[in-house]
């Protein structure tokens, strides 16, 4: 049997809300780092048909400019989407006990809330016609927008061949 090589893939995409404000510090060599936790909620129906909610608390670490941006823009309750990778680390406390943690090392963080210093509301900056025109202007002229006159793609436009799979 041929040797199977496992791909080197470590990717996480998660959305949630901060459980507290990020802690911000600098390492001994001056590198900025921010740590915080998010709560990611999942709603599901149980066996009885009742809606339930499950919460997963996940530690996040951000470095360099991303850490500074988190410190400036995030607070308790802020909604974020985080793209990163899982990492584990271990250390010994001052009392000699070993600690291990698995956390997400953030590559990108999308802040979903309005910025603290942003006084103008979304409605003041944009109206529906501006957004629609911006979208249309960004579409290349030679790209086919849809197969019908409504501008909505037909179902065949999204055929990825999954119906041919057998289980």
> Is 66 among the domain residues?
yes
Domain that holds residue 20: 12-116
> Is 44 among the domain residues?
yes
> Is 134 among the domain residues?
no
CATH number at residue 36: 2.40.50.140
Could you give the number of structural domains in the chain? 1
Sign of the Cα torsion 131, 133, 134, 139 reads: positive
pLDDT tens-digit readout, 102-133: 999 999 999 998 765 554 444 444 443 333 33
Q: b/e map of 4-15 (b: 16 or more CB within 10 Å)?
A: eeeeeeeebebe
> Is 30 among the domain residues?
yes
> Is 56 among the domain residues?
yes
Q: If you average pLDDT over residues 31-52, what whole number do you get?
A: 92
For 11, the token pair is 């990717």
| Alpha carbons 85 and 94: distance in angstroms, whole number | 28
What are the Cα distances from residue 108, in Å, to 14, 37, 40?
Answer: 11, 15, 17
Placement of tokens 């061949």 in the chain: 161
- Where does the pLDDT of residue 8 fall: very low under 50, low under 70, confident under 90, or very high at 90 and above? confident
Of 138 and 91, the one with more pLDDT: 91
Entry pTM: 0.63
- Residue 153 confidence (pLDDT): 47
> Is 104 among the domain residues?
yes
pLDDT tens-digit readout, 42-83: 998 889 989 999 999 999 999 999 999 999 999 999 999 999
> Is 163 among the domain residues?
no
> Is 147 among the domain residues?
no
């Amino acid at each position: 049997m041929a040797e199977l090589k496992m791909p080197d893939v470590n990717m996480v995409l998660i959305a949630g809300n901060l459980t507290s404000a990020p802690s911000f510090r600098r390492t001994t060599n001056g590198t900025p780092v921010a740590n915080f936790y998010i709560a990611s909620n999942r709603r599901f129906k149980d066996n009885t048909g009742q809606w339930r909610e499950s919460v997963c608390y996940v530690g996040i670490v951000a470095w360099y400019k991303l850490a500074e941006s988190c410190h400036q823009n995030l607070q308790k309750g802020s909604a974020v989407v985080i793209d990163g990778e899982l990492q584990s680390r271990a250390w010994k406390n001052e009392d000699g006990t070993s600690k291990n943690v698995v956390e997400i090392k953030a590559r990108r963080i999308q802040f979903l809330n309005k910025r603290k210093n942003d006084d103008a509301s979304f409605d003041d900056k944009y109206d529906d016609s501006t957004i629609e025109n911006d979208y249309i202007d960004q579409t290349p002229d030679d790209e086919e927008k849809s197969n019908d006159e409504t501008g909505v793609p037909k179902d065949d436009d999204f055929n990825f061949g999954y119906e041919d799979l057998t289980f």
